[in-house]
Chains A and B, each alone.
Chain A
C-alpha cells in the first residue's frame, strides 16, 4: 500500500501546482470549469447502502446483468454487486481488494497510462483515489458476457466522487465491459479515470455510458493501451450531466493493433458535452476508425476535438475520423475540430465533419414513403444515435443502449421517439 500513498501524494502535489484548467488553455477553450472549481465539492462520508436494488436498477436502466460491480458515491457496495459465476481466469472485484490480492498486477498498471502529470483532473482524481473497479482477464480467457461496472450517485448535494477503473486483458484473451455512470438528481461532481490495457492478440469491447443527473458535473479520462494485433472497440456515450468533459486517449503500441473509437452525445436544455480524443499511432501497421455523432436540441452545446498523432516510423497507418453533428434548434451549437499530426509518410488518414439541421433531401425521401414530417424528424434523429448504437457488437449492451437512447430522445422537446 506504500506505493499507493506515494502516488496519491504526488498527484495532489501536481494538482496544487496546476490547479483547474481555464478557457485560456487551448484544450479547454470551449469548456469552462469555473463552476466546478468554485462549486465547493467535497468528498463526503461513504454511505454505500443509500440505494435500494430497485432504485439502482431504475437508475442503471439496464437489464439485470450479472456479473456487476456497483459503486455508490464511489464506494463499493457489496449488497448491490453480483459477482458469482465468474469463469476461471476472470477477475471482477473492487480495486481495494485487488491491491491486497495481487499488488504486483495493480501496481504494474495503475496510473501508468492516465498520467496525472498531464491532466489536472486526472491528478485530482488520482489524489483522491479511494476505490474502484478492477477487471482482469488472464491469458487466453475468452468470455463474451458483458462485465457491468456501475457508478451510481445517490444524489447528495455537493458531493465529489472519484471513480476509478482498471481493466486488464492479458494476451489473446477476449472481454466485454460496460461502464455506466448514473445518478437521478442532485448537484454533484464526478471525476472519473479509467485505464484499459489490451495485451498482444487480445480483444476488448468497452462501452462507457454517462447518464448522470442534469445538475451534475462529469469529468473523465479514459486511457487505453494496446499491444500488437490487439483489438479495442470503444464507445463513449454522453446523455446526462449539465456539464461533461471526457478525454479519451488511445495508444496503439504494437504493430497490427486495431481500434474503433465511437461516441454519441444526445443533449438538450443547457447541457454541454465535450469529447476530446487523442489517438496515438505509435507503431506501424495499425488501424483506427473514429466516429462521433451528436444530437443537440434547445441550447445544448457539443464539442468534439479529435487529435490523431502518427509517430515517426508508424508507417502503413490507416486512420479515419468522422464527426456528425445534428442541430435540432437554432440555439444549439456544436464545435468540431480535427487535429492531425502526421510524422510518417506512408499513411492513410482521413477526416470529415458535418454540422447542421436535418437534411431536406432525407426528409423528402421519408415523406415520399408515406412517413409524415413529425415521424420523419424522429426517425432521422433516432438514426443519428442508432448509427452508433448499431455498431456495438455485444448484443446485451446494444439492447440496453438502444433502450437508453430511445428514453433519452423521448425527453427532447420534439417528443416521443419510435419504438
Chain B
C-alpha cells in the first residue's frame, strides 16, 4: 500500500493561498526530498501533513495508509505513525525530555491498546534507543528544548522520532544550522532508523544533507507548486544551477 498520496492539494493560511496544487506519492522504503527556496511553501506542506490548525486545506486530498488524513486530528495522525520534525522545535517549560518522551510514547501505545510504560521500563527503552543511534543521555533531564542550542534542538527532534518509530517521518530543515559533524550524526541516525515499511520526506533547501541520506526522488517546490521531480541527480543540478531555471516561465523563455 502507498504510504502517502497527495492530490491537487491547495492550502491557505490567514486567507492567503500558499499551496497551489501539490501532487506527491510516497511508497514504503522510499526517501523523498522536497527542495525549494525560502518561502516556497515547504514548511506549510509539512504543517498541513501534521494537521496544524492554522492552515486550511481548500482543495484536494491526502490519503495516508489508505485513510483520509484530513479527517484526523493531529494527535490521531501521530498515533497512526506520522511524525514531523519541526523546523523550529518548541520548548516546553518545566517538562523534562524523559518525561515528555514517555508521555508521547504512552499516548501512542494507549491509543493502540498497548500497555503504557512506567518510568523505569521506559528508561531502559530510552537507553537502548540512544545506544542504537550512538547518542548520550545528557539532554534527558533538561526541560524539552529549553535553552538548547540549535543543533541540540534538531537532535532532539530525531530522538523523538527514534522513540516514536514513525511510518512516515517528515523532517523539516533538520539539516539547517548544523555543522558538518552534527549533520553526519543526524543523517546516520535517520539512516539507521529506516525500516522497509517506513518512508521519509526530507524537506531542505540545501543539497548537503542528500550527500548522507540518498533520496529516491527529489521534488522542487516553488511558489506552492511542485515544478519538477527527478532522481538524485536533480539535487546536484539544483546545487549547481540554483532554482531559477526550474521556474515554469524560464522554460517558456
Contacts and interface: CB of A to CB of B under 8 A. Distances in A.
Is chain B a partner of chain A in the same complex? Answer: yes
Interface of A: 324, 360-362, 364-373, 375, 379-380, 382-390, 418
A384 B94 contact: yes
B29 interface: no
B74 A367 contact: yes
Nearest to A418: B103
B13 interface: no
Q: Which among B50, B89, B93 has the highest number of chain A CB atoms within 10 Å? A: B93
A383 B164 contact: no
A373 to B, nearest CB: 8
A368 B78 contact: yes
Nearest to B96: A390
Nearest to B52: A364
25 contacts: A360-B54, A361-B90, A364-B53, A365-B89, A366-B92, A366-B104, A367-B74, A368-B50, A368-B77, A368-B83, A368-B84, A369-B75, A369-B103, A369-B160, A369-B164, A370-B75, A370-B79, A372-B75, A373-B75, A379-B92, A379-B103, A380-B92, A383-B95, A384-B94, A390-B96
Contacts of A364: 50, 52-53, 74, 90
Contacts of A386: 94-95
Interface of B: 50-54, 73-75, 77-79, 83-84, 86, 89-90, 92-96, 100, 103-104, 107-108, 111, 143, 160, 164
Contacts of A365: 86, 89-90, 92
B94 A362 contact: no
Contacts of A385: 94
A373 B143 CA distance: 20
Contacts of A382: 94-95
A370 B164 contact: yes
Nearest to B141: A390
A375 B103 contact: yes
B111 to A, nearest CB: 7
Q: Which among A324, A370, A385, A387 has the highest number of chain B CB atoms within 10 Å? A: A370
A369 B97 CA distance: 13
Contacts of A390: 94, 96, 143
B98 to A, nearest CB: 12
B93 A371 contact: no
A266 B84 CA distance: 33
A370 B104 contact: yes
Given A365-B86, A368-B51, A369-B107, 4 more contacts: A324-B93, A364-B74, A368-B86, A371-B107
A367 B73 contact: yes
A387 B74 contact: no
A387 B103 contact: no
Contacts of B79: 370
Contacts of B78: 367-370
Q: Which among B53, B75, B79 has the highest number of chain A CB atoms within 10 Å? A: B75
Nearest to A371: B107
Q: Which among A385, A389, A390 has the highest number of chain B CB atoms within 10 Å? A: A390
B45 to A, nearest CB: 15
Q: Which among B107, B160, B164 has the highest number of chain A CB atoms within 10 Å? A: B107
Contacts of A368: 50-51, 74-75, 77-78, 83-84, 86
A369 B95 CA distance: 14
Closest CB pairs A-B (n = 10): A383-B94, A387-B94, A386-B94, A370-B78, A369-B104, A365-B90, A367-B74, A370-B107, A370-B108, A383-B95
Contacts of A380: 92-93, 95
B168 to A, nearest CB: 13
Contacts of B93: 324, 380, 383-384, 387
A385 B94 CA distance: 7
A384 B92 CA distance: 9
Contacts of B143: 383, 387, 390
A360 B84 CA distance: 17
A384 B95 CA distance: 9
Nearest to B80: A370
A116 B86 CA distance: 55
A393 to B, nearest CB: 14
Nearest to B91: A362
A380 B146 CA distance: 14
B2 to A, nearest CB: 22
Nearest to A383: B94
B111 A370 contact: yes
A371 B95 contact: no
Given A368-B51, A371-B75, A379 B95 contact: yes
Contacts of B96: 390
Contacts of A360: 53-54
Contacts of A369: 75, 78, 100, 103-104, 107, 160, 164
A316 B234 CA distance: 57
B74 A383 contact: no
B202 to A, nearest CB: 18
